Structure 1
Amino acid sequence: MKITVIRPAELGASEIARWREIQQTDPELGNPFLAPEFTLGVARFRPRVRVAVVEEGDKVTAFFPYERGRAGIGHPVGFGLTDLQGIIAPPDLELDARRLLKECRLGVWDFNHLLAHQSAFAPFHTVRRVEPVMDLRDGFEAFITEARNAAPKTHKTVRYKERKLAREVGEIGYVFDCRDEAELTRLMAWKSDQYNRTGRTDRFARPWIVELVRHFHRTGFGVLSILYAGQRPVSAHFGLRDGAVMAGWFPAYDTRFAKYSPGMIGHLRLAQGCAEAGITEIAMGRGGKEFKEGLKGREIPIAEGRVALPLSRHGGGAALHWVRTAPLNRARTAALGNRRLYDLADRALRTYARLRPARTGRM
């Protein structure tokens, strides 16, 4: 087995074709976060992105995209932005994960949304959970019937608020694939406001993420969908599409219309738009949102953990990384796995967000 590390831009047409061929060997590899377009896009703005190409004989058998940080600390490409991670390899590929890290000059590789069934990394899992998926294979009507049966009260409430929004604000309209960059800018502003309002880190305060999202929108890999009421945009969603799979990414709404639950209305319209566009599933991402339970048709097992070489081989960087991140990871995992803890953490973050401007003003 030969492992060669290259820059994503060095991937040729034959390698991209082989990447896509391998994706066909495992249904879960069809997620946009595992598509070559995602790695190539992130690499435009993150110069330390690399791809390890695994060969057996004269045939490429796997691709391992990653980002190498300081002190040999490795992460999946777009770490912190991705809802699915893994190696692009057939399910039956036998691979030594520690040898892979050594060839990549990594002391540790941290992951938090890894495909749990990938055997090379299974010994290094610390937590396993599931990611919900909206199943549209049988069309929108079949999907909405299942959703209504799974959560009748929620569905009834959303439909009532949709009618109320139409009466009080204006006729409902929906654009599945909006190409207007001004609308994308509006979505990012809404999302930044949400991050700050709820005490989360504002991803769009990082210029490279803004440019990455714009790049995906311009190339068509990203799909911007807008819900309108009386010509006014009230909610939006930016997701990534790879063939028949959509990965939910950035949903947001205008808080002036919060009482109508425009985000929920938008999710149902998104499902309809996806089904009409030939998309068979929407990966909703991990998280503690109750509404996802009423929309999911299946689940993808995912895992958190880390692969590390023996300390003598990579120095203290990985150990220091573990000390810094392990307590936070454990706290996050506990909150995501317990609805009561999730709600407590959410309220604490919102309280922090309200106090933050006042505290900043006293500095």
Structure 2
Amino acid sequence: MRGLKVEIVGVEALTQDDWALWSRIQSDEPDLISPYFWPQFTRVAAEVCPGAAVAVFRRGTQTIGYFPHQRRSGTMQPLAAPMNDYHGIIARAADRPSLDEAATLLNAPRLTVGGWVGHGEVGQARRTVQVQLPDGDYAAWYSERRKSHAKFFKDKERARRSMEAELGPIEVKRGLRDPELLDQLIALKRDQYRRTGRHDIFACGWTADLLHRLMAQPEGGLGASMAGLWAGGRLCAMEYSMHAGDQYHFWFPGYFPELARCSPGILLSMDTMQMAGAAGYRTFDFGFEGEHYKKYFCNAEREVREAVILRPGLGASVSQAAVGLLNVAGAGRGEQLRNSVRRRWAAIEACEVTPMARARGAVNAAQAALAKVSRPSHA
């Protein structure tokens, strides 16, 4: 960190030399391979994300890295949060500050990250999971997974037959760039958020604009597209993904709940991997672990860090005091509850740019947290 200085600039202030350096670093560093680190993602996101900026890291007159971010009052977040699964400083590994050092250099009242790529001691580790196709061979992957998890995959084979018998022949398409299909998916996700009590990340508007803008980009380099599964002509499942190089990032899946018994979303992911693998994609990223099916699919993982870093002072003390109160109410589950509330608040703060909208989201998050506190612990 010695000798490093940071300058905050608008994305439009970056020069062609900056973008060329960014591209070279990103393509040379294996841990920056995700589409989220590509220059095109930052350029498109900056068009729609309120408060977009870039922190430029320099040592003397030499630029060594970039951190695209957004500001929400006193909080600094990765650009496009809460939709950005991977983020960090685009710099060579030997020059890259740790998360702890970056927080000091950035000097924000609060730095919130959920999928920081790079080393650091603050916060907590989280895992993302991937499917690595051996030499692009979907059949080899499926054979190995079916041997390891026979019951799960036999059940999906039965679900496919059941869907075809009930609805008709299955058809899967990928590489779709239909704005109306995307609007259908967004409506489906918003309904899911309402049913499950999660914050509606699409209510703010700019998040939906981001997906549309990315999908409208010319093909080549980084791209975004949709895949869909139809049975007997009926749309059953959709998935919005981002892809670059040989990386394919599953981003927003959705299926119609009344067809859950047929696992249309899982069938769509499998067929998409088979088709995209044949087109040259090798890594299929499913984001954060959690959903049960991912443990049957994925054969690789990455570690990232989640943290809320406050300037020293009252804020940190109040945070720890809140954990103590939650522990009293939640039978020792204060830390777990704080993580849940923190993630909810990070999403609310990232999406909503007005105090009124943030207040509404905070009330909903508090109600959900209280509901969790009132449940008995089975740990």
Paired AA for residue 186 in structure 1: Q
Please report the TM-score for the alignment, with normalisation by the length of structure 1. Answer: 0.81
For 2:160 and 2:19, how far apart are their aligned partners in 1? 43
DSSP-derived class of the 1:293 partner: helix
Look up the match of 1:28: 31
**1:63 aligns with one of 43, 62, 66:** 66
Look up the match of 2:199: 201
Structural mapping, 1:188-227, within 5 Å? 188-219=186-217, 221-227=223-229
DSSP-derived class of the 1:41 partner: helix
Distance 1:62 1:218, change over 3 A: same
Look up the match of 2:298: 296
**2:132 aligns with one of 108, 130, 135:** 135
Q: Which has the larger displacement, 9-18 or 263-272?
A: 9-18
Distance 1:9 1:94, change over 3 A: closer
For 2:63 and 2:36, how far apart are their aligned partners in 1? 20
Higher relative CO (Cα under 8 Å, sequence separation at least 6) belongs to 1
Distance 1:320 1:78, change over 3 A: farther
Give 1:325 deviation, angstroms. Answer: 10
Paired AA for residue 67 in structure 2: F
Look up the match of 1:163: 161
For 2:239 and 2:338, how far apart are their aligned partners in 1? 25
Gaps of 5+ in 1: 336-347, 353-363
| 1:81 counterpart = 2:101 | no
Give 1:237 deviation, angstroms. Answer: 0.3
Structural mapping, 1:256-271, within 5 Å? 256-271=258-273
Give 1:223 deviation, angstroms. Answer: 1.5
1:104-142 Cα deviation digits (max 9, x unpaired) = 451221112112xx23xx121x32131111112422112
1:191-222 Cα deviation digits (max 9, x unpaired) = 11111122222222221111111111111521
DSSP-derived class of the 2:126 partner: strand
For 1:329 and 1:41, how far apart are their aligned partners in 2? 36
Give 1:101 deviation, angstroms. Answer: 4.4
1:25-62 Cα deviation digits (max 9, x unpaired) = 33221111222222222221223121112233554321
Distance 1:253 1:98, change over 3 A: closer
CA RMSD of superposed structures (Å)? 2.8
DSSP-derived class of the 1:176 partner: strand
Gaps of 5+ in 2: 327-333, 342-366, 372-379
For 2:336 and 2:100, how far apart are their aligned partners in 1? 24
Paired AA for residue 141 in structure 1: A
Contact 2:241/2:248 (8 A) holds in 1:
yes
For 1:17 and 1:329, how far apart are their aligned partners in 2? 43
For 2:38 and 2:284, how far apart are their aligned partners in 1? 15
Contact 2:65/2:96 (8 A) holds in 1:
no
| 1:90 counterpart = 2:87 | no
Contact 1:226/1:237 (8 A) holds in 2:
yes
DSSP-derived class of the 2:296 partner: helix
Q: Which has the larger displacement, 231-240 or 300-309?
A: 300-309
Distance 1:242 1:156, change over 3 A: same
Distance 1:150 1:100, change over 3 A: same
Contact 2:167/2:232 (8 A) holds in 1:
yes
For 1:131 and 1:49, how far apart are their aligned partners in 2? 26
Look up the match of 1:282: 284
Look up the match of 1:10: 13
Please report the TM-score for the alignment, with normalisation by the length of structure 2. Answer: 0.78
DSSP-derived class of the 1:123 partner: coil
Contact 2:8/2:54 (8 A) holds in 1:
yes
Distance 1:324 1:88, change over 3 A: farther
Contact 2:36/2:84 (8 A) holds in 1:
yes
| 1:330 counterpart = 2:336 | yes
For 1:245 and 1:296, how far apart are their aligned partners in 2? 14
The percentage of counterpart residues that share the same residue type is: 25
Contact 2:127/2:301 (8 A) holds in 1:
yes
Contact 1:84/1:113 (8 A) holds in 2:
yes
Contact 1:3/1:100 (8 A) holds in 2:
no
Contact 1:25/1:91 (8 A) holds in 2:
no
**1:245 aligns with one of 240, 244, 247:** 247
